[in-house]
Structure 1
Amino acid sequence: MLDTISFSQRQRLAYIDFCLLFKGAIHRQDLIKRFEVGLSAGSRDFTLYKELAPDNLVYSAQEKRYFQTESFLPLFEHDARRTLVKLANDISDGFDAIGDIHFPVESASSLNVPDIFVVAKVVQAIVNQKAMSVIYTSLSSGSGARELVPHSIVDNGQRWHVRAFDRKSQSFRDFVLTRISKVTVKDTPDENELKDCDEAWQRMIPLEIVPHPKNIKYPTAIELDYAMEEGVLVLQVRAAMAGYLLRRWNVDCTKLASLRTGEYQLWLRNQASLANIDNLAIAPGYTSEEVEYQ
């Protein structure tokens, strides 16, 4: 039946499906505002959606919105990678499920694709400011139950993480999305478990990145690559994200630019800015002594 209805109505049905899957609920007014349609047209869309997927939503007269049911199965196929990119850029439309416009641009293949239903539950917890119970498999301790309070989904360039308060360690940490399973959205968290209390997330630090002084013969080429001004690229980044950025771009973080292999074309000239950051084991060549000796 989906093939027989207009493209514009399929867009609206995909949006309903997207909101139910990733937010857990949708107001009729959300649809009307998003597509600038009349009340009667919006009502027809919800009626048609319910005909196509009667077990996917239930209406609450008290809250005046539709909620996802426990038996929910998406009416459309939502691509995990494209959905995560859209969520990271604050685009909530679900249109990829009905065929976005494709441009002849390719990117490197991803080896790390999270389960779309895990992503959906995590996003629900974030959007509704809820804690969640998960089974998490770590490299050090294997599989086990954890209670997390997530606040952001992060692309570190290689894989997707969720930034969350971990009730087991009583600290904010990063958890790889593909290692999460059996997600259950739970209670409302305490104030100290929310994003505003994540000091490493809230703190911005400057990074001064320059062409590697020993590995690069013609630094002007690197300056052009990164649109450097007067030979330096100055970035303001979250302290919690600094290690990921430095690793992704192979930035030499040693004091004396001592990483001499060809992949290191950049050097961090202000190592002192990395003081008191937790996740710097992944920053190329960085040790805490680099700051102490300056």
Structure 2
Amino acid sequence: MAEPERRVWARNVRYEFMEWKLFWEGQLNRSDLEAAFDISTPQASVDLKNYRGLAEGNVEYDSTAKSFVPGAAIRPRFLVPSADRLLLQLRALMSGALPRDVVWFKTLPAIDMAPDVARHVDPECLRLILGAMRSRSALRIRYQSLTNSRWRVIAPHALAFDGARWHVRAWACDHKDFRDFVLSRIDEFGGAEAASYEPADDVEWHTTITLRVLPHPGLTDDQRRAIERDYGMVDGAREVEVRLSMAFYFIKRHNLDLIDLPPERVQLRLENLAEVGLRVAAAKEETRRRVIPSGGGGPADGLSHAADPWDSSPA
């Protein structure tokens, strides 16, 4: 008779835990299994015995340390080792986003991170935004930009994180275009109302572009090699696929639009910066073409005609 699926899943999670301890912490004890999964000593012993049979060479018993240790050529079968994932977990732990028991270290390594001045998002704000996205409706919001505070009517269709803050991608009913609104700048809500728009018309959101990031040409050969290693470049370049609507944030975060900065400060150069601006402008024009009523046109139709391709970025 086949073993119940859930029992197999639970056992495989324990095997993954064993490999995590061996790979990242360098040792494993039966008591680790007992504490992490609230299982009996006999069950932990069976798990260890079965795992050693399945993954011969991955684990050895060190009689001096009185614990299991990784084999010389450990090849995890149940764990996908990812330094990025582990470091992200540690970062989330430091910021309070994850509880301590999610990270399987018995004793945490010494860690710290530079303070992050987080932008607070009110849970009621996010709840209303998500509700409007589900119902395809518009919301009246009082929005504080860098220049003024006023009531706006927006129809949200997506959320995005720019590396520092969350914003909502929405149809701006007053400007008749798609824009970004920083969630932490919404300080009051009015009622909901019907909205007539198609998320598919947000061409910037639905179109991607490949950015070619290079080491700054002003760097020395040693500096260039260091940057290539930092960013995992291949043949001196790193290709990054990004939505057109998010390209602005990537470029700003890495100072790729500030060509006068010292090479050691900016470190990178965007090979196709001009192409990004042209593609964003073309996407805005395509959106405008889609949403203008048949026969409409010209500034009197109430649509935004900004020349700046980054005009939809939040103020």
TM-score (norm 1): 0.55
Residues 1:161 and 2:192 are matched in the alignment: no
> C-alpha displacement at 1:183, in angstroms?
2.4
CA separation of 1:240 and 1:106: change in aligned 2, threshold 3 A: farther
Confirm or deny: 8 A CA contact 1:250 1:265 kept in the other structure: no
Counterpart residue number, 1:30: none
The question of whether the paired residues in 1 share the 8 Å contact of 2:119 and 2:184 is answered with yes
Of the candidates 219, 223, 246, which is equivalent to residue 215 of structure 1? Answer: 219
Q: State the alpha-carbon separation in 2 of the partners of residues 119 and 281 from structure 1.
A: 21
> Relative to 1, partners in 2 of residues 1:274 and 1:238: Cα closer, same or farther, differing over 3 Å?
same
Structure 1 residue aligned with 2:177? 171
- Classify the secondary structure of the residue corresponding to 2:150: strand
Structure 1 residues 130 and 279: CA distance shift in structure 2, 3 A: same
Alignment partner of 1:144 is 2:183: no
Q: Relative to 1, partners in 2 of residues 1:106 and 1:185: Cα closer, same or farther, differing over 3 Å?
A: farther
The match for 2:310 is 279
- Unaligned ranges ≥5, structure 2: 1-87, 89-96, 281-308
1:126 & 1:267 partners in 2: Cα distance?
Answer: 37
| Mapped contact 1:166–1:173 kept (Cα < 8 A) | yes
1:16-62 deviation line (CA, Å, top 9, x unaligned) = xxxxxxxxxxxxxxxxxxxxxxxxxxxxxxxxxxxxxxxxxxxxxxx
Q: 1:184 to 1:102 in 2, by over 3 A?
A: farther
TM-score by length of 2: 0.52
Q: How does 1:158-237 map to 2 (within 5 A)?
A: 158-184=164-190, 186-190=192-196, 193-218=197-222, 219-237=224-242
Work out the CA distance in 2 between the residues paired with 1:196 and 1:183. 26
| CA deviation vs aligned residue, 1:140-169 (integer Å, no higher than 9, x gap) | 2x2211110111111111211111111111
Kindly provide the amino acid, as one letter, of the partner of residue 132 in structure 2.
Answer: A
2:34 maps to none
Q: In the superposition, relative to structure 1, how do residues 165 and 216 fare at CA in structure 2: closer, same or farther (>3 Å)?
A: farther
Contact kept in structure 2, 1:204 and 1:237, CA below 8 Å? yes
Q: Residues 131, 168 of structure 1: CA spacing in aligned structure 2 closer, same or farther, 3 A cutoff?
A: same
Instruction: Tell me whether 1:243 sits opposite 2:273 in the alignment.
Output: no
Residues 1:185 and 1:232: Cα distance change in structure 2 (over 3 Å): farther
Q: CA deviation at 1:252?
A: 4.9
Structure 1's unaligned 5+ residue stretches are 1-84, 86-95, 283-294
Matches within 5 A, 1:263-274: 263-274=265-276
Give the 5 Å matches for 1:20-99: none
Structure number having the greater helix percentage: 2
Larger radius of gyration: 2
Amino acid at match of 1:171: D
C-alpha distance in structure 2 between counterparts of 1:216 and 1:114, whole Å = 43
Aligned partner of 1:259 in structure 2 is: 261
- Distance in 2, Cα, partners of 1:143 & 1:252: 29
Q: Deviations over 1:118-156 (max 9, x none)?
A: 11111121133221111111112x221111011111111
Distance 1:180 1:253, change over 3 A: same
Alpha carbons 1:253, 1:271 under 8 Å: kept: no
* C-alpha distance in 2 between matches for 1:135 and 1:204: 31
Q: Are the equivalent residues in 1 in contact too, given 2:142–2:187 (CA < 8 A)?
A: yes
In structure 2, what is the Cα distance between the partners aligned to 1:185 and 1:196? 25
